Amino acid sequence: MNNPLMQDLKQKLVDKTATIAIVGVGYVGLPLILRYSQLGYKVVGIDIDQSKIDSLNAGKTYIEHISDHAIQTALERGFTATSDFSKATKCDALIICVPTPLNKYREPDLSYVTNTVDALIPHLRKGQVISLESTTYPGTTEEELLPRVESTGLKVGADIALVYSPEREDPGNPNFETRTIPKVCGGHTPTCLEIGIALYSHAIDQVVPVSSTKAAEMTKLLENIHRAVNIGLVNEMKIVADKMDIDIHEVIKAAATKPFGFTAYYPGPGLGGHCIPIDPFYLTWKAREYNLNTRFIELAGEVNASMPNWVVNKTVLALNTKGKAVNGAKILVLGIAYKKNVDDMRESPSVELMELLEELGAEIAYSDPHVPKFPPMREHSFDLKSITLTPKTIAAYDCILLATDHDKFDYDMLKQHAQIIIDTRGKYLTAADNIIKA
């Protein structure tokens, strides 16, 4: 690298004298804050949500698997949180970790990314690196970030570095943490890539360089499309197996004994989380620009999107066998987080199940040890608090719908006292009169 400005930035990142700004302090950004702080970097968290800023500066967490103590330790090491984007000027690295949802037409909503970049633009300077971690379609960094950055007069690759490095967080997974999950990184220029590697090399055990920001963007999509397609396959197989009176979970368990050529994926009531239900459609949308139809992805999306309705139908039929209508039935949904043992509600299929059943006239309640009160959500609203499970409360409901299989649930107690259990997660491997597989 012959550029003294970029060489100086790289050296700051290598010797940990750089100031790192994490823009977006949610499930992706907060673990990065803690990791860089742990390494000795000066870290600034920037977010438009003042409640998160106030919580962090008070040493309080808002994510269940991250402790107050971890945040307090970061504060002691010099971490600060702010909603003032002008603080970015004093930072050497700006890592953007904001949501990239879909709109109601299943089209990418990049407003969080573009609004964030636009808020940063007045405060950019020479000798910085910008890294986008938000999942998006191939070309976003070049088409959306590059022209915005260069509108300031700064030349990417010479005055400022631009990289794309997709997040790979898996909340609640005890086997992996930010440090141990390999980090893919692509730069707009070779110099940008070199700076990107320096940015992440201390924080992450293994940095995986790729040839471009497009390649890095596509890598993230392929990872999640792989999962979405295979989950769609096993969800479809679940329906077929159900019609044939075969337990799909027994079949998966047996197939998984093959030591090669098979990877176990498990069916459920629908897809949840911030990646799997959303990311494939970023590629299908972009592919249309090239007159391509991604039929495989679309089909998997259709199957996965149909699962909540299939579960509701199984619930209606189960109630019918007991001589009860869904209209007026008291239904308790177990688990409203999108996956087990976390408090993350993003795109949770449990919420759609609750809405569908409520539309049919059911009286809905929920129990989730990780979500004590139904949180405010952009498109959903329930004024509910988590029900404590006891033999008496369980027996009081016409139906228990097991949507998310948290380890904290007492499954033996549920089986003993529930009138009906709709099991969407395969927790009950042995048959029982009050258990319906869905």
The answer to whether residue 226 is domain-embedded is: no
The answer to whether residue 224 is domain-embedded is: no
The answer to whether residue 221 is domain-embedded is: no
Amino acid identity for residue 2 in this structure: N
Same domain membership, residue 349 and residue 317: yes
Same domain membership, residue 107 and residue 198: yes
H-helix or E-strand spanning residue 331: strand 330-334
The answer to whether residue 412 is domain-embedded is: yes
Same domain membership, residue 111 and residue 250: no
Same domain membership, residue 34 and residue 182: yes
DSSP state of 156: B
Same domain membership, residue 333 and residue 190: no
Domain that includes residue 20, residue range? 4-213
Domain boundary among 164, 179, 213: 213
Q: Do the Cβ atoms of 221 and 280 come closer than 8 Å?
A: yes
Residue segments in the chain with a per-residue pLDDT below the cut of 70:
273-274
Domain boundary among 184, 213, 242: 213
Compute the 3-state secondary structure of the chain and give helix, strand, coil in percent, each to the nearest 5: 40, 15, 45
Same domain membership, residue 190 and residue 270: no
Closest CA to 169 of 339, 46, 55: 339
Residue 278 confidence (pLDDT): 81
CATH number at residue 255: 3.40.50.720
CA-to-CA dists, residue 295 to 175, 199, 227, 229, angstroms: 34, 38, 16, 11
* C-alpha of 148 from chain center: 27
Residue 274 confidence (pLDDT): 66
Residues serving a catalytic function are 275
Same domain membership, residue 372 and residue 262: yes
Domain boundary among 213, 241, 257: 213
C-alpha dihedral (368, 369, 370, 373), degrees to nearest 10: 60
Name the H helices within 381-424.
Answer: 391-395, 411-417
Q: What span, in angstroms and rounded, lies between the C-alpha atoms of 237 and 267?
A: 9
Q: b/e string for 311-320 if b means 16 or more Cβ within 10 A?
A: bbebbbebbe
253: buried, middle or exposed (CB in 10 Å: 19+, 13-18, 0-12)?
A: middle
DSSP state of 425: S
Q: b/e string for 360-391 if b means 16 or more Cβ within 10 A?
A: bebebbbbbbbbeebeeeeeeebeeebbebee
Q: Do the Cβ atoms of 15 and 170 come closer than 8 Å?
A: no
Number of separate domains in the chain: 2
The answer to whether residue 225 is domain-embedded is: no
Same domain membership, residue 188 and residue 300: no
Same domain membership, residue 348 and residue 267: yes
Same domain membership, residue 159 and residue 44: yes
Residue 16 confidence (pLDDT): 97
Mind spelling out the 3-state secondary structure of 182-206?
Answer: CEEEEECCHHHHHHHHHHHHCCCCC
Beta carbons within 10 angstroms of residue 104's beta carbon: 7
Specify whether the backbone of 207 is left (phi greater than 0), alpha (psi in -120 to 50) or beta: beta
Beta strands in 109-172 (DSSP E): 128-132, 160-164
The answer to whether residue 219 is domain-embedded is: no
Residue 320 confidence (pLDDT): 96
Same domain membership, residue 283 and residue 186: no
The answer to whether residue 287 is domain-embedded is: yes
Same domain membership, residue 296 and residue 181: no
CA-to-CA dists, residue 347 to 4, 294, 304, 333, 412, angstroms: 46, 23, 13, 16, 29
